[in-house]
Structure 1
Amino acid sequence: MSMRVTFLGTSGAVPTTERAPSAVLVNREGERMLFDCGEGTQRQMMRFNTGFNVSHLFVTHLHGDHILGIPGLIQSWDFNDRDAALAIHVPPGSKKHVKRLVHAGGYDPSYPVNIHEVSPGSTALDGDEFEVRTFKTNHRTRSQGYAIVEDDRPGRFDREKAEEELGIPPGPMYGRLHNGEAVELDDGRVIQPEQVVGDPRPGRKLVYTGDTRPVQATVEMAEDADLLIHDATFASDESGRARQTYHSTAQEAADVASRANAKRLALTHISSRYAGDASPIEREAQERFHGECFVPSDGQKVEVPFPDAE
């Protein structure tokens, strides 16, 4: 089962020739979810071949570099004869503003577009064996982050014990046991799932902050995350500017990841002042965070493995 992240836009508020405004696409088992939608996101999707069939769009806040791609994407979907409904999830108080973007220029999509206000600390989407949860962030406007949190998976099935020790014949009984059902053998013995199935195994967790100062809510949501995508707009020599604009430095993002015990940290929303060289951002974070840490480029794809993957 795959979970692939494509970084469509990794720039700060001002795009550069190499980095577009904020947008991250996650493809989980063929279900595509888009997190923020900066200007030109539809072209980035084409350019990096992510597929266009997005079912859910999650907006962190209403600044232009996170939402101005919505009108073009909405209309392009219409030109491509889309008929499937689109759900847009937004912070409280944002619905009317996003609705204006959906209908920009008096345009009315021919397919359903449903806008849902969702508060921090709640579940934005209850999916098939996963949830998208919200958490409060700290920016200059009402803002929130999102986390994809998968359900626990069944434990490993001990085929050797099932076949050799317990004499369970290979076949449908194995699947029933792995799914938590007891089975009765021909000799009358009843085998319970726990006799051949190990402890539940955790699913994956991906956390996306959008624009924010470092906050405890991110630490809590990102506990043991497989991938934390965090605002790292500035290097530490611009820490005053980071505080003034309610962004984070690379070191602050790394501190959050360390406190959360995250496995990997992606540093995004890179200020245009680092257009020629983002290495100070990555280097500073690596000094504070000892897991895998990187500044993704636009178009970079990252696979998120299960925590117990070998």
Structure 2
Amino acid sequence: MSLLRLTFLGTSAAQPTLHRGLSGLAVKADADLLLFDCGEGSQRQMVRFGTGFTVDVAFFTHFHADHYLGIIGFLRTLGMMGRTSPMHLYGPAPARRLLHQAVHLGLESTAFPVEIHELKDGDVVRRGGYAVHAVGVDHRIHALGYVLAEDDRPGKFHLEKARALGVPEGPAFGKLQKGEAVTLEDGRVVKPEDVLGEARPGRRLVISGDTRPCPALVQASKDADLLVHESTFSDDEQERAQETRHSTAREAGQVAQSAGAKRLILTHLSSRHDTDPGKLLAQAREAYKGPVEVAFDGLTVELPLRD
């Protein structure tokens, strides 16, 4: 997988504002386009920010209305556009019941297959070149965070070693780079480890969803290239954060610092911080020593390959 790009569709908590839509994150993973949550208005944001509509899979962190009601209109739009390929929807219980109701609201059937899957902590969804891991988090209802973990990439191909072993240039080089052994004309077998360096670790993207700080998310975020963590409140709203099972920006920073995450982006902001999130940013920076920023609708981030 070469491309891993995030586009923030909505960064507001609970209600849309003039400047921020409801929760939604589009992730382009090579040819795949994934959605993580789909708040009301997400499809308009996809048009606005140019992500396209070729979504393969949607993952829901939980089923508060601001995180999933946008899927109703989005599926209808896809049907009107002539989609025929299946759509897969994943989320924690009660995903089957709630998503079935949403998908069929006002309709007996959809124009294309919609397959609904319930996930629990520890479940893994395999995709081409990467996997999405479900992580149980601490919210008022069943909720999941997600880790998109890229497969390890083959080590660096040493051209001179391959030539010295008599490997002919062309398809044989490609096979070795893919991890396949090659048999030469004289019968000798050249193995990938003969010409490749050590495997290079894949990238890790962590999406918290709505949650209090919790050990499971810290563990899941170990050495993450990017942690996208909700930061609904500031320090002076700590009591409200605990009551609603949300996080403050400082707590998001503490999670990132404890996990050793390489980068932190704050999202899911209370309307109190809609146009001036400076307080949230400052408090997160006091807790986390790495690079941190506050997301805004339309923010696009590409994660580079690890060396």
TM-score by length of 2: 0.95
- The answer on 1:80 being equivalent to 2:81 is yes
Does residue 259 (structure 1) correspond to residue 252 (structure 2)? The answer is no
How much does 1:274 deviate? 0.7
TM alignment of 1:157-196, pairs within 5 A: 157-163=157-163, 165-185=164-184, 189-196=188-195
- Alpha-carbon distance in 1 for matches of 2:116, 2:187: 56
Q: Cα 1:100–1:188, aligned 2, differ >3 Å: closer, same or farther?
A: closer
> Aligned-pair distance for 1:293?
0.8
Structure 2 residue aligned with 1:95: 96
C-alpha RMSD over aligned residues: 1.5
Tell me the number of residue pairs that the alignment of Structure 1 and Structure 2 aligns: 306
Corresponding residue SS for 1:105: coil
Work out the CA distance in 1 between the residues paired with 2:245 and 2:282: 22
Q: Secondary structure at the match of 1:256?
A: helix
Provide, for residues 114-165 of structure 1, a one-character-per-residue CA deviation record: whole Å limited to 9, x for no partner.
Answer: 1111111111x211121111010111111111111111111101113333x4
- Change beyond 3 A, Cα 1:294–1:158: same
1:56-90 Cα offsets, whole Å, 9 max, x none, are 11111111110111111111111111111111101
Greater displacement, 74-83 / 98-107: 98-107
What amino acid maps onto 2:222 in structure 1? E
Rounded Cα–Cα distance in structure 1 between residues aligned with 2:85 and 2:180: 36
The answer for the alignment partner of 2:138 in structure 1 is: 138
SS in 2 for 1:20: coil
Corresponding residue SS for 2:35: strand
Change (3 A) 1:183 1:73: closer
Q: Distance in 1 between matches of 2:221 and 2:135?
A: 10
Q: Secondary structure at the match of 2:106?
A: helix
- CA gap 1:280/1:192 in 2 versus in 1, 3 angstroms: same
Map Cα deviations across residues 243-276 of structure 1 (whole Å, 9 max, x no partner): 1110001111111111111111110100000122
Provide the C-alpha distance between the structure 1 equivalents of 2:213 and 2:70, rounded to a whole number of angstroms.
Answer: 26
Stretches of structure 1 that go unaligned for 5 or more consecutive residues are none
Q: Unpaired runs of 5+ in structure 2?
A: none
Q: How does 1:1-310 map to 2 (within 5 A)?
A: 1-106=2-107, 108-123=109-124, 125-163=125-163, 165-185=164-184, 189-308=188-307
Q: Helix, strand or coil for the counterpart of 1:54?
A: coil
Greater Cα shift, 236-245 or 188-197 = 188-197
CA distance in 2, matches of 1:300, 1:53: 19
Query: Aligned partner of 2:271: which letter?
Result: S
Alignment partner of 1:104: what SS?
A: coil
Report Cα offsets for 1:27-74 as digits up to 9, x if no partner. 111211100011101100111110001111111111111011111111
Distance (Å, rounded) in 2 between the aligned partners of 1:226 and 1:178? 25
Do the aligned partners of residues 195 and 139 (structure 1) sit closer, same or farther apart at CA in structure 2, a change above 3 Å counting? Answer: same
CA deviation after TM superposition for structure 1 residue 202, in Å = 1.0
**Cα gap change, 1:107/1:75 in structure 2, threshold over 3 Å: closer, same or farther?**
farther
Shift of 1:179: 2.6
Cα distance in structure 1, aligned partners of 2:228 and 2:73: 25
Q: Distance in 2 between matches of 1:187 and 1:85?
A: 49
- Is residue 181–residue 191 contact of structure 2 (8 Å, CA) maintained in 1? yes
Task: For residue 92 of structure 1, report the CA deviation from its aligned partner.
Answer: 2.1
